[in-house]
Amino acid sequence: MKTIIEPFRIKSVEPIKMNSIEDRKKILDKSYYNLFQVRSNDVIIDLLTDSGTGAMSSDQWAGIMRGDESYAGSNSYLFFKDTVQDIFGYKYILPTHQGRAAERILFSTLCKKGDIVPSNTHFDTTRANILFQGAEPIDLIDDEYKNTQSIFPFKGNMSIKKLKELLDNTEIAKVPLIMLTITNNSGGGQPVSLQNIMDVSKLAKEYNVPLYIDACRFAENAYFIKKREAEYKDWSIKEIVNKIFSYADGCTMSAKKDAIVNIGGFLCTNNEVVAEKNKNLLILTEGFPTYGGLAGRDLEAIGIGLNEAMDIDYLNYRIKSIEYLGNKLLEQNVPILQPTGGHAIYIDASLFLSHIPKEQFPGQVLACELYLQGGIRCSEIGSLMFGGIDEDGKEFFSNNELVRLAMPRRTYTQSHVDYVIEIIIEVYKNRKNLSGLKITKQSKYLRHFTAQLEKV
């Protein structure tokens, strides 16, 4: 059996409104070349994010109806808590409305001004939340993994050498925690090996620094461990997941990813003191600890989705469909980040548009062109997202200029993917005609969401 099919039937459909290139030209102008400002109705294939955009299963929808909305001690909370505990194994579990709420609470509890928080690569909300505490987020990836064209099975791994150097040369009281993002979203959806998780954990224990995992794509990461790390080929996804989290002191989770729901998150820890402080902050801004800013029905759907995301047939289909898209682009020499990762294809815009300098946001130029030509919306992961203006008014840039085509879970079919391939190849053929963008308005944090741009 060579053809891998979508392991589901479709029960409910959502129409896609078709529009023309002339329509899209006007829309792009009106949105100041910022795709976050475009209405979803004006998008044909939406690959902006895989966050909260997945299709829930009939089981999850049944769970939505079953949701127990009692203020305290609801059944849905108990089901959620038992499921999270069963999968991740932590003592204290707090539901939050999103991943970033879990981050804000964790970093408010653990970080102080002047601290340093190492990671393989911090995600944008993680980075922003650490900066907001006055602490410094640091990314520790091996230099050879930073080349988008180099092929290694676990390019998400944290550099053990760099981590050791950092821990040896920093006052340990200033390192309140180590974060490990699985899979490494900003680093191309690349997985982290179990060996690397064990090595990071060993160092963390040696230096007495807690290790937390950014768990958003835990199931996809576990799938890569099963496929690429020989010792685990006969392990179930759940067994691998249990093992991964046994090496950390806690985790933050956006349920909008590998719990396949539209909203939600949670924060786990084994540390009673941290848990108590977290809980008090949660009550202040999120809600009572048995719902944490979510409805009972959300908790029910998260509990069901966490298990569905670990289903091997689902993961086979998911990872293979990303690989399919990637391979078709590679056949036409489109420069993408290799090897293909878990939830998205990342086009290397600095190679794709090598004539546009990073000061003119080649990633954003490409993202806008894919929208113009095909109504495809994707996101820039480059200097618009990670660059900015420093304290001295000097402009700084991201290491990579990427465009991310993130695949919502269980949402699009293969013919949608074939359409995306056709548009990208067409844009690639005409790439020399494209020119740069400049920012006319921006904010200090997470500027990519609201920045306004125009053609240079």
Ligand X SMILES: *Cc1c(COP(=O)(O)O)cnc(C)c1O
Asked if 125 touches ligand X (CB under 6 A), the answer is yes
- Cα(329)–Cα(335) distance, integer angstroms: 8
Site for ligand X in 258-317 (CB under 6 A): 265
* Residue keyed to tokens 């844009």: 427
Cα 290 to chain centroid distance, Å, stands at 26
Q: What would the two tokens of residue 373 be?
A: 């030509």
Closest approach of ligand X to the CB of residue 214, in Å: 5
Asked if 216 touches ligand X (CB under 6 A), the answer is yes
* Residue keyed to tokens 């306004």: 452
Sole binder of ligand X in the list 60, 181, 221, 379 (CB under 6 A): 181
Asked if 96 touches ligand X (CB under 6 A), the answer is no
Which CB sits closer to ligand X, 127 or 358? 127
Beta carbons within 10 angstroms of residue 305's beta carbon: 27
- Cα(141)–Cα(151) distance, integer angstroms: 14
Stretch that binds ligand X, among 21-29, 111-119, 123-131, 347-355 (CB under 6 A): 123-131
Sole binder of ligand X in the list 79, 123, 232, 352 (CB under 6 A): 123
Sole binder of ligand X in the list 256, 404, 431, 447 (CB under 6 A): 256
Spatial neighbors of 40 by CB under 8 A, at least 6 apart, are: 46
- Cα(368)–Cα(237) distance, integer angstroms: 38
Closest approach of ligand X to the CB of residue 426, in Å: 30
Stretch that binds ligand X, among 33-41, 120-128, 129-137, 319-327 (CB under 6 A): 120-128
Sole binder of ligand X in the list 60, 148, 185, 340 (CB under 6 A): 185
Closest approach of ligand X to the CB of residue 173, in Å: 26
Closest approach of ligand X to the CB of residue 134, in Å: 20
Measured between its terminal Cα atoms, the distance across the chain in Å is 51
Which CB sits closer to ligand X, 275 or 406? 406
At residue 318's C-alpha, the angle toward residues 226 and 294, to 5°, is: 100
Sole binder of ligand X in the list 98, 109, 157, 196 (CB under 6 A): 98
The answer to whether the beta carbons of residues 399 and 363 sit under 8 Å apart is no
For 48, 351, 402, the CA distances from 437, given in Å and listed in that order, are: 19, 17, 15
Which CB sits closer to ligand X, 99 or 326? 99
Query: Which residue number has the CB closest to ligand X?
Result: 99
Q: Which residues pair with 404 in a beta bridge?
A: 346, 379
Site for ligand X in 5-64 (CB under 6 A): 51
Closest approach of ligand X to the CB of residue 125, in Å: 4
Stretch that binds ligand X, among 122-130, 131-139, 234-242, 331-339 (CB under 6 A): 122-130
Cα 143 to chain centroid distance, Å, stands at 21
Number of H helices, E strands in the chain: 17, 16
Closest approach of ligand X to the CB of residue 54, in Å: 13
- Cα(389)–Cα(202) distance, integer angstroms: 37
Which CB sits closer to ligand X, 253 or 424? 253
Closest approach of ligand X to the CB of residue 435, in Å: 31
- Cα(23)–Cα(14) distance, integer angstroms: 21
Closest approach of ligand X to the CB of residue 126, in Å: 6
Sole binder of ligand X in the list 42, 63, 94, 100 (CB under 6 A): 100
For 91, 192, 416, the CA distances from 365, given in Å and listed in that order, are: 46, 31, 23
Closest approach of ligand X to the CB of residue 183, in Å: 8
Q: Which of 320, 89, 53, 381 is nearest to 215 (CA)?
A: 89
Asked if 360 touches ligand X (CB under 6 A), the answer is no
Q: What would the two tokens of residue 334 be?
A: 């489109």
Contact residues for ligand X, defined by CB under 6 A: 51, 98-100, 123, 125-126, 181, 185, 214, 216, 254, 256-257, 265
